[in-house]
Amino acid sequence: MPELPDITIYIEALGERILGKRLKAIRIGNPFLLRTALPPLERIYGSSVIALRRIGKRIVFGFEEELWLVLHLMIAGRLHWREPNARLSGKAGLAAFDFSDGTLLLTEAGSTRRASLHLVHGEEALVQLDPGGIEIADCNSSKFREVLTRRNHTLKRALTDPRLFSGIGNAYSDEILHSARLSPVALTQRLSLGQMERLFRATQETLAYWIELLRKQVGRNFPEKVTAFHSEMAVHGKFGKACPICGTKVQRIRYVSNEVNYCPNCQTGGRLLADRSLSLLLKKDWPRTPEELEEMRKPVER
């Protein structure tokens, strides 16, 4: 799912192309994309884009007469800038936003359609779509601690809760926790003041680092290859590969369609975290350290 750094780059690229431009029309390729009926989409045809904002992981297009078009890409939604009146085709094509000098295409990979589009009127209606998480770049350490410890959740869950923190998801939370040298399953209300301060700094620095890195990689182009996996990442998507800090193999916890990636040496004191599916199978035989896990993986001599 595109997260805060990715959405920031999308908005910057869109600003260069459509800010101040009039929207000619929107072609909807999948009826399940549009989640509102009133106001009708036709209300913004011929109107200029006067603002671009981010709400959590949503992209917000501001139009005249206080009309707001809110796009949530979810996991597999992606944007593409094409020539005017570009064809919207295939099952992946969800919508085409036509401007005089280009078309913004919305696609979604896979068979599950989760991306959503809302058109609302007024700031109050827009606020209703905001999960309420704080903006990391705008808060201080005191506010961060207060939000972090409202409930006694694991750090992974807390960082990715949009009601607590805005725009952080599975990928960048892995990178943040690795940078902070904290376990993803550590409980928020059991952290020391020093650990919370370290996490606050790591969160701000990691997000700022990735925004700047993505800016440099994209340049003046449109970000066509938005992905949750980057070669520069320390642990996310790096299961089985060496931690860039200590060389220990990155481990993971898998659950449903997500996974947590972490370095046992840097983050958990050398202890392996129980993978839910495997630990249920192995029970008391679940390895306690990376070394024990490696021993289990060795072929049995015959």
Q: What CATH number is associated with residue 70?
A: 3.20.190.10
100 lies in the same domain as 156: no
Please list the residues that pair with 249 across neighbouring strands. Answer: 242
Q: What is the pLDDT of residue 289?
A: 52
123 lies in the same domain as 143: no
274 lies in the same domain as 169: yes
179 lies in the same domain as 83: no
If we measure between CA atoms, which residue out of 102, 123, 126 comes closest to residue 14?
A: 102
Q: Compute the mean pLDDT over every residue in the chain, rounded to the nearest whole number.
A: 91
Q: How many domains does the chain have?
A: 2
**Mean pLDDT for the stretch of residues 202-226:** 96
Residue 89 in domain:
yes
User: How many CB atoms are located within 10 Å of the residue 165 CB?
Assistant: 25
238 lies in the same domain as 114: no
Least confident range from 197-201, 216-220, 240-244, 256-260: namely 256-260
Q: What is the pLDDT of residue 256?
A: 64
92 lies in the same domain as 146: no
- Summarised one tens digit per residue, pLDDT across range 8-55 is 999 999 999 999 999 999 999 999 999 999 999 999 999 999 999 999
Where is the domain boundary, 94, 127, 160? Answer: 127
Stated pTM of the model: 0.90
Where is the domain boundary, 65, 92, 127? Answer: 127
Least confident range from 152-166, 239-253, 280-294: namely 280-294
Residue 294 in domain:
no
Q: Which residues contact 191 (CB under 8 A, 6 or more apart)?
A: 148, 149, 155, 182, 199
Residue 174 in domain:
yes
Residue 163 in domain:
yes
Where is the domain boundary, 98, 127, 156? Answer: 127
- Summarised one tens digit per residue, pLDDT across range 147-178 is 999 999 999 999 999 999 999 999 999 999 99
Please list the residues that pair with 282 across neighbouring strands. Answer: none
Rounded Cα distance between 48 and 270, Å, is 56
Q: Determine contact, residues 38/79, Cβ cutoff 8 Å.
A: no
30 lies in the same domain as 148: no
145 lies in the same domain as 96: no
Residue 196 in domain:
yes
Q: What is the pLDDT of residue 288?
A: 54
Q: What is the pLDDT of residue 260?
A: 95
Identify the domain containing residue 230 by its residue range: 136-285
- 226 pLDDT higher than 80: yes
91 lies in the same domain as 49: yes
**Mean pLDDT for the stretch of residues 236-243:** 96
174 lies in the same domain as 254: yes
Residue 176 in domain:
yes
Q: Which CATH number does the domain housing residue 238 bear?
A: 1.10.8.50
CA dihedral sign of residues 211, 227, 106, 43: negative
User: How many CB atoms are located within 10 Å of the residue 222 CB?
Assistant: 17
Give me the amino acid identity at 131.
P
229 lies in the same domain as 257: yes
Least confident range from 225-229, 252-256, 274-278: namely 274-278
Residue 194 in domain:
yes
Residue 298 in domain:
no
29 lies in the same domain as 90: yes
